[in-house]
Structure formats: structure tokens, C-alpha cells
Structure 1
Amino acid sequence: MMNDSPGSPLPSAGAVDELPAAPSLRSITFERPPMSEHGLLDYVVRDDSFVWGRRGNGMVGFGEAARFASSGPGRFAEARAWWDAVVRAAESRNDAGLPGSGPVAFASFSFSFTSARPSRMIVPEIVVGRRDDASWLTYTTSDPDAELSVAAAEARLATLLDDVSVEHELGEGGDRLVEGQVSEDGYRAHVAAGVEAIKAGRLTKLVLARDAVAELSAPIAVAQVLRELALRYADCWTYSVDGLIGSTPEMLVQVEGDTARARVLAGTLDRATAPAGEPGYARRMLSGDEKQRHEHSLAIDSLTEQLGPLVTGMNSPKEPFVLELPNVWHLASDVEARLSVGADGTRPSALDLAEVLHPTAAVCGTPTEAAGALIRQLEGMDRGPYAGPVGWVDAAGNGEFGIALRGGVVETPTRVRLYAGCGIVAASDPEAELAESWAKMRPMREALNL
């Protein structure tokens, strides 16, 4: 496995391999009445749906109007070229005018260009969206003869929602979690080797991952798992794109008009081992710990260095805050910047910035090239889409890409591969990092009742 090198200041618009012809899509988007108090969760009822949501806001997609897959070092450029062609060829009417309305593509990119799992972009046939009190429905089709109207869109949604996926009791009949490609002993050894490399001055930080496999006695009820994640981890972004599912606490980049935002996490404390009734414990252990603050500052420095050439202003807090999740506490910082206008008069899109920022120090290390080489040497597994960008982009370039953390890949109806990684610095302890990796798998383990 190999990591990508750091992104260039601006994504290259150079030649890409010949792409499939862009489909001629037509779409209609219209506003709908406000949703119920449950928000989008009322629509997370099919195992094959596309999901991106947080606190009831976001989008749920059904069906497929178009699809594109790419691999290798040009996967981002090829996906961007394909999406640009799709947008140029599309005929769309958008009465909502909100980020995420109109034609939209859900996307998942592999962590490494050597991955055997292709990156993919999918344009759903139906997308239901919500943003606070605003709600909309987009109907997209490649059928030139299809009726494109409000009535046709509502009828198609109703048909899709009639086919609700089966729920079942989880954790019964022999469900189990087994070793993946990286064993516990192997992970301890990897961490120890990483610490030695850091102490030798080869790099400053290294992120090492491991996997575990959930073997289920009955097919996974994906929609049920997603609802569990969304309810338990309300401060995270719950996602589902083509078999990649989870709920990530880390926003790689969010683009809305001329504004870009990111949520950076580095520094973790397991809540399961915390003493009860000790006020301020998380802040003292995270903010007051030199190892945790060092790891966090490296992640912030990585983001600002990569984003710097693309923005005219950036606001980053001097002190991180403690993000409280059901399984762990994190040191977190929210960064906001104003996007620069390029020589061609355009601003970078969410897809552009996802390419530039990936991989961050939070999922690879510092410096990136040295960390990638050591991951390739030590880790010995294909991360697939784990720790890669996952999210969506619309026709205007707005979008949200989280880092695919706290999740897994549905490999078969009864087999789900879970992943977790930890930031390794000179003060890291192999046993503590192994325990942290289990804590980071806890959201999916709980949702699967394992």
C-alpha cells in the first residue's frame, strides 16, 4: 500500500485518460414542507440508499442515474473531469437554490492510489434533502422520455419508500468479531517500530491502522445500523456510499459558496477507562497532556499549510476544544477560511479541496511522504476507502467531504470489515494505542451489537 504525496497548491487541470462519455441527465428540484422532528431519519429505511447527515440535516439518495469509477494517482482528477462534464451536459431546474440541491453526486475515494477498491461517484435518481426548516426533493434521470415533474418525482419517491429493508435483532446466533489483516500482536509491533522511527528523526508523526472483521449470522441491516449511528453519534456525520458505512467526527472540508470549513481532530481519550465523577478530567488529560497537544498541533499545521495558497483569510482558534462523543473525547478545532478566486475567475470546489487536503496528518502523518512510505512498510494492508474522503458535491461546487473514520466496508451481506487508526508520536505506547483502536471501533461494534 502507498499513500499519495501532498497535494499541489491547486489541483491540476491537466490531461486525464479518456473518460466514458458523460451521461445526458435531466433533473428537477423543488421545495417541500418541513420534515418531522426526526428529520432525515424518516427516510433512512433502505439498505441500498446513499446517506450523508448530521443532526437531522443532510441528504438521502435512492436509485442511480449515473456512476463513475476511477483508480490510481489520477482518481481525483478523473472524477472531477467526469463531474464537470456531467454538470455541463445536464438540463436542470432548481427551485430550492440551497447547497446540495440540484444534481448531486455522492462520492467515496480510496485512501491510497494503489488500492484495489476503486473510488466512485454516484448520482442518485432521487435525493431528499433537509437543512433546518428547509426541505427539498431532486429527481434526476438519464431517460429522455421520462416525465420530469413534481408529481412524477413524488410518485417515484413513494415507490422507492414502499420497498423498506428488513430489520432484525443483531448480535444473535453466533455473530462474532474476528482478526483482520492486522492482528493485535502485529499492531503492537507496528506501533513500536513507528515510535523508533520517530525517535530516530525519520518523521514527526505516523498514523497506523488495523482492521477487524464482523462475521454475522444474518445479512446486515444497513439502514438500521445507520439510524443507530446517527442517534448515538449526533455530533458526527453519518455516511453510506456504496457499501462504505459509518459515522465520522472529522470534516475534511465543507464548501459553501466562497467559504470553506474543516473540523480537525487529533488527541483521543477513551471514555470507558475514565474515572467517574471527576469534573474536568477530559480537558486535563487532553489539553494538559504534551503528547496529545503535540499531535493536535501537527494536524492543524498540516491543514493550514495545504489550505493556505487557496484562501484569502483563515480563522483558526488558538486553543482546541474537547469534543465529547459517546465512546471517546477528542481535541478538536474548527477552521474557517475564505476561498481565493483563481486566474480563471472560479473558486475551488469541494472536490478540488478534498484532493488538495488528502491525506491529512490526522490519517497519514508528518511529513506526509515519509509517513506514507513507513505505512507502506509497516501496515501491510489495503485500507480501501478507510480514511479517504467521503461525502458529496453539487453542480455549483458546494459539498462536504468527511474523512471515512469510525466505520467499515460491507464486503458481503454477512461480512463487514471495520477499521481504526491511531496517531503515533515519540511518546506513544503500543498497548495504549491498541486500546485506543478498539475504542474507535466501538461505534460500529455497538451498532452491530457486537
Structure 2
Amino acid sequence: MTTLRSVTVPVGELSSTIGLLEYLVLDEQLCWIRRQEGLVGFGETARFTSSGPDRFARAQDWWRSLLAHAEVQDPLEAPGTGIVAFGSFAFSKRSPFESRLVVPEIIVGLQDGAAWLTYTTTDPEAKLNAETANAALARYLEDLPTYRESDPADQVLPGMLSEAEWKNAVARSVAHVAAGDLSKIVLARDIAVKLASPLMASQVLRELAVRYRDCWTYAVDGLIGSTPEMLIRVQDGRAEARVLAGTLDRATAPVDDPGYAQRVLAGSAKQQHEHQIAIDSLTRSLEPFTSSMTSHTEPFVLELPNVWHLASDVTAELAPDGNGAVPTPLTLVEALHPTAAVCGFPTSVAGELISELEHMDRGPYAGPVGWMDGNGNGEWGIALRGAVIESPTDVRLYAGCGIVAGSDPSAELEETWSKFRPMLEALGLDRPSAVPLRSPDFASSRAGS
């Protein structure tokens, strides 16, 4: 096992206006940012990959062994200081996508106005102090990328299913719900973006972090996005989650009706039903690990630049096990994933139908993404409103909808476009007026997924 050596040091004040955004400068970077605070990682000191049903357990074992052999100097001992791993996990246990944990060489952190720098190395001779940490960071900031302009030759192309085929899949899903096979299924689709010149991921991340500052902007190994949904946040023995289910597109809303979202979302039996399924799914899975748990009696309307959601926050006190240890973030992630909000209910039935109806491998889309530290703290969101960078000029976007009784295929298709909008805007693209039925270059490349 590799021995990690790490030092965390406080740094001077960062700009209150842009915070960590000034450090989003490289295309191969790790990040977790909300309201300009969070963590930004540079380089790589250690990595773990795994696939299959035991991917979470194997990652947990690797992380524990790594920490057991580590030399850590962390006078701050705050959430996100010391050795930190960023992670991304496949949505499906059957996916060939390799779930991964990555420990960066350098992390710049900012929380509640306090900033720090963590330097982690495998070099047994390296000095662990503020000078070496700042010198390591400076090496990553020497060559900064230029700005990419949108090009008329940039294309938005269909994914594995055409719009008509996907609407047919929605109709089949509604039929399964009507037959009593399940009460909800979350059906996703993909679209492909082919750029005329190489993507600049750092630019896209900055755009997302500014436009969607109340979401969590993430980047792990080419998986980028800005999610509104927190799967689980663990800090000092306390767990929090944010559940979303129920969506309303702001683009089609009347401009002179301030109560529109509350009336249409909160007043919709369909939307309330979908949301309740998601809440029940999460609290049922979280309960065995808690001593107490609270959630909103009624969901609130979460306002984002592109959509409104019905949202509920759940807070729980974690219960120690027989050895006095509280559950780790990865233990909770494994227990909670997949939630009804991204899979359906019952999840086992919905998962099988998803594989049959979507005709694609979701990879890391709708899987857990986030970070954890060596002291049991962590934040894991659900990889939504994002994309996978497949090559410097090829980007694949994903969006899904909760299908319940009464879902309309055309309305669900429009909802996916509202959820594609954050990434399309960050890429400098608009929804095409007409999408071809097939894109041979992209569809053929994923036919076996």
C-alpha cells in the first residue's frame, strides 16, 4: 500500500466575489463548489477504481487502508481538510464504467470564509510545510487556458434513442405503472454534442458555478455538471440530504404570475405523488443508520435558473455502531443509492426496466459524485444536469424524468430539454430547432452499451 504524506495549511483571504472560481483554470481538474465555496483539486497522488455490485465496499476498504498508513499534518481538522478523495460511482452495478476515488496532489478549500491548502505526496523525502504546498500549487497555475468561443459548426445530435423512440419508451413505462408493476420509474435519455474545436472544461465549470450557484458544481475525471440534489452530506456525526422530484420548466411560465410555480407544482397531485415516493425511498433507507430524523412536512419550491422543483431537506443524527463508530459517508451512499428520485420504486423493478427501455449505459450519470475526508466527513451529490467528456470535441449529455401514472410522453420530452439547458448554455449552445433521427457517429459507438 502506498504511504501518503499530507499537510494542510491556512491561506490568506480569497476574493469574496469569486471565491474558488479563480482556481478553476485547468481542463483536467477536480472540483466541488457551491456558492463559490468548496474544494478544488489539482493533480493526482492516489487512485482506486472498481466496478460491479461491490464497488462501494471495495472503495471503502481501499480508503480505510490508505488512511491507516498515512502521515497527516492537519492542524485545522475541519470538514474537507487533511487527505480528501474525490469520487464518482456508476449508476448501475452492471455498468462497465469504472467507479473511482482520486486523491489530488493539491486541494484549495474554502468554507465559511476560511481558506486552506492541502498538499499530499508519496515522496518520503518531501518537506511538509506551507512553502512546499504553495510551490506545488504554483506549478499548476503556470499555464492557463484561453477562452473558447462558440462555433457555428458545433452540433447537437441525438443519442441512443430518437425523440420519437424515447416518447414510446415513456408510454411503455406508463403502461407498466398502470399494470401495477411499479409506482414510478425514472427514464433518462442522452444527446451528443460534437464541437468544432476542443472543449475547455474549466470554462464550462465556471459558467455552471456562476449560473447555478445554489447547486453543487462538480468535476471528476471528465464527469462535469451542476447538481441540485444532495444524496448525503455527513459532518460531525450529522447527515443531511436534499430530495428533488417534481419539475416545472421556467421557460414556458407566465412572467406576471408570482404564484405560478407554487400553484402548479405544490397543487399537482401527480407532482406531489412523485415527490412523496422519493422522500419515502430515502428515509426508509437512511433510518437504520440514525437515532433521529426530521424532514419537511410539506415540500418547498426550489427555484433554479432553468426550472422549479419540489424539494425536501432531510436531517438525521447518525447512530454509532457497537464499536462507537458512526457510519461513514460511503456506507450511507451505498445504502441510499439508487434512490427513487433517479431510479423509481420499487428500485429493483425500476432498475430492470431502465436497462430494457433506455438502450444505453448511464455510466456515472445519476450515480453518486462528491468527496470525503479522513475524519468521516463528506458530501455526495447525484450526478445530474451534467455531461461526460468523451473526447476533446465529443461531449454526451444526460437528462431524465420521473414517470408515474398520468405522465404524458410529450411533456416528459420537454422536461428533458429543460434539464439539458444548464449544460447546453454552459457549452454556448441552444436547443436545435430540429434534431436528426439518428447520428451514426455517436449511436454506433454506444450500441453495445
TM over 0.5: yes
RMSD after superposition: 0.8
TM-score normalised to structure 2 length: 0.94
Q: Which residue of 2 aligns with 1:45?
A: 25
Q: Which residue of 1 aligns with 2:287?
A: 308
**What residue identity is the alignment partner of 2:104?**
P
Deviations 1:308-335 (A, max 9, x none): 1100111101011100001000000111
Q: Which residue of 2 aligns with 1:252?
A: 231
Deviations 1:18-67 (A, max 9, x none): xxxx3110000011122112110011111111010100110000000001
Q: Which residue of 1 aligns with 2:127?
A: 147
1:394 pairs with 2:394: no
What is the deviation of 1:163? 2.2
For 2:174 and 2:148, the matched residues in 1 are separated by 44
What is the deviation of 1:277? 0.7
Q: Which residue of 1 aligns with 2:321?
A: 342
Q: Which residue of 2 aligns with 1:106?
A: 86
Question: Does structure 2 conserve the Cα–Cα contact (< 8 Å) formed by 1:31 and 1:95?
Answer: no
Alignment of 1:176-215 (within 5 A): 176-215=155-194
Q: Unaligned regions of 5+ residues in structure 2, if any?
A: 430-449
Match of 2:362 among 383, 390, 412: 383
What is the deviation of 1:161? 1.0
Question: Does structure 2 conserve the Cα–Cα contact (< 8 Å) formed by 1:28 and 1:94?
Answer: yes
1:437 pairs with 2:409: no
Deviations 1:207-231 (A, max 9, x none): 0000000100011010000000000
For 2:68 and 2:27, the matched residues in 1 are separated by 31
Aligned residues: 428
For 2:258 and 2:102, the matched residues in 1 are separated by 46
3-state SS of the aligned residue for 1:269?
Answer: strand
1:241 pairs with 2:223: no
3-state SS of the aligned residue for 2:219?
Answer: strand
Q: Which residue of 2 aligns with 1:232?
A: 211
Question: Does structure 1 conserve the Cα–Cα contact (< 8 Å) formed by 2:91 and 2:364?
Answer: yes
Question: Does structure 2 conserve the Cα–Cα contact (< 8 Å) formed by 1:183 and 1:210?
Answer: no
**What residue identity is the alignment partner of 1:439?**
S
What is the deviation of 1:345? 1.4
Q: Answer with 186-195 or 372-381: which moved more.
A: 372-381
Q: Unaligned regions of 5+ residues in structure 1, if any?
A: 1-21
**What residue identity is the alignment partner of 1:357?**
L
For 2:162 and 2:97, the matched residues in 1 are separated by 22
Question: Does structure 1 conserve the Cα–Cα contact (< 8 Å) formed by 2:9 and 2:129?
Answer: no
1:282 pairs with 2:261: yes
Question: Does structure 2 conserve the Cα–Cα contact (< 8 Å) formed by 1:25 and 1:142?
Answer: yes
1:75 pairs with 2:55: yes
Question: Does structure 2 conserve the Cα–Cα contact (< 8 Å) formed by 1:351 and 1:397?
Answer: no
Question: Does structure 2 conserve the Cα–Cα contact (< 8 Å) formed by 1:127 and 1:137?
Answer: yes
**What residue identity is the alignment partner of 1:372?**
G
TM-score normalised to structure 1 length: 0.94
For 1:407 and 1:216, the matched residues in 2 are separated by 17
Percent identity, aligned pairs only, is: 58
Deviations 1:256-304 (A, max 9, x none): 0110000000000001111121120000000000000000000000011
